A = this chain, B = another copy of it.
């Protein structure tokens, strides 16, 4: 059955915190050879929040996206936070974002969709059905991530990858005679890897006040080798299904916008996809891995840099904690 949805990305926006952290600074901090961090991560510079909260960053990116869409804030009729982190456990991120946008009198419905690094992809895929069916007119999807606060500086290989930031996208129904459409979405979750990438503590299983909680229980932990093995074993079959559902071949795709996981992960993915470098959006060098914000941020950059034209076929693809692999193919 065709999955096509008549949905158009009307505008995108982005926000990065002021504070820039260069890889050579992290070399020093970690006491490693000069150049090690950049070589290992593919990141030259990332941004870390100082005072910015996730909802503040979200509002900056959202205002940007709404402006790029030619809309007023009040034209938005649904706000969905598509982030892998929460600003606070209650309420949901989207309500905090509505408040930051000064839309507290708007009654705009607010909720969150979360599949860690794939949250934007899942949100885009899911919500496009509601836009297609006419439930909402202009939906604001926002990913806003503060990765820096949860980093474990004793885990060199992980800590070097991440950056903070936000990205936003406005979805609308495609006007008649325009080509924009979502061709397909596909996601697979392999919970054999549920604990390969995790923050163990801070939820109901190990509450922050639990006296047994150790500092590193509340910090990001990833077994990179296990993640690599499990995703490598499954990516080819996943890709085949994604392409089949989109009725495209890899040759039809004008640009791949991958999750900016790490320099190495992206090199491996590009090889698996078998595509040229110019068709593979890479912004990791000056952003780092911004969790769920990384895909919409790279998409925003691709649009700003004129790498995408209306009618182009775009593939979003990535892996996330879960372990999940997810992707969407759409005509911009």
Contacts and interface: CB of A to CB of B under 8 A. Distances in A.
Contacts of A191: 95-96, 98-99, 103-104, 110
Which among A1, A111, A115, A129 has the greatest number of chain B C-beta atoms within 10 A?
Answer: A111
A54 interface: yes
Which among A86, A103, A203 has the greatest number of chain B C-beta atoms within 10 A?
Answer: A203
Contacts of A322: 91-92, 95, 110
Interface in A295-330: 320-324, 326
A208 B211 CA distance: 12
A206 interface: yes
A86 to B, nearest CB: 4
Which among A105, A109, A118, A188 has the greatest number of chain B C-beta atoms within 10 A?
Answer: A109
A42 B215 CA distance: 39
Contact of A110 (B103, B115, B127, B201): B115
A108 interface: yes
B89 A85 contact: yes
B129 A85 contact: no
A194 B99 contact: yes
Contact of A204 (B85, B130, B321): B85
A294 interface: no
A7 interface: no
A10 to B, nearest CB: 20
B202 A88 contact: yes
A204 B54 CA distance: 8
Interface string A200-226: 111111111100010100111000000
Interface string A176-188: 0000000001011
A218 B114 CA distance: 21
A112 B113 contact: yes
Interface in A154-207: 185, 187-192, 194, 197-207
Interface of A: 1, 3, 53-54, 79, 84-92, 94-96, 98-99, 103-105, 107-116, 118-119, 122, 126-127, 129-130, 132-135, 145-146, 149-150, 185, 187-192, 194, 197-209, 213, 215, 218-220, 234, 320-324, 326
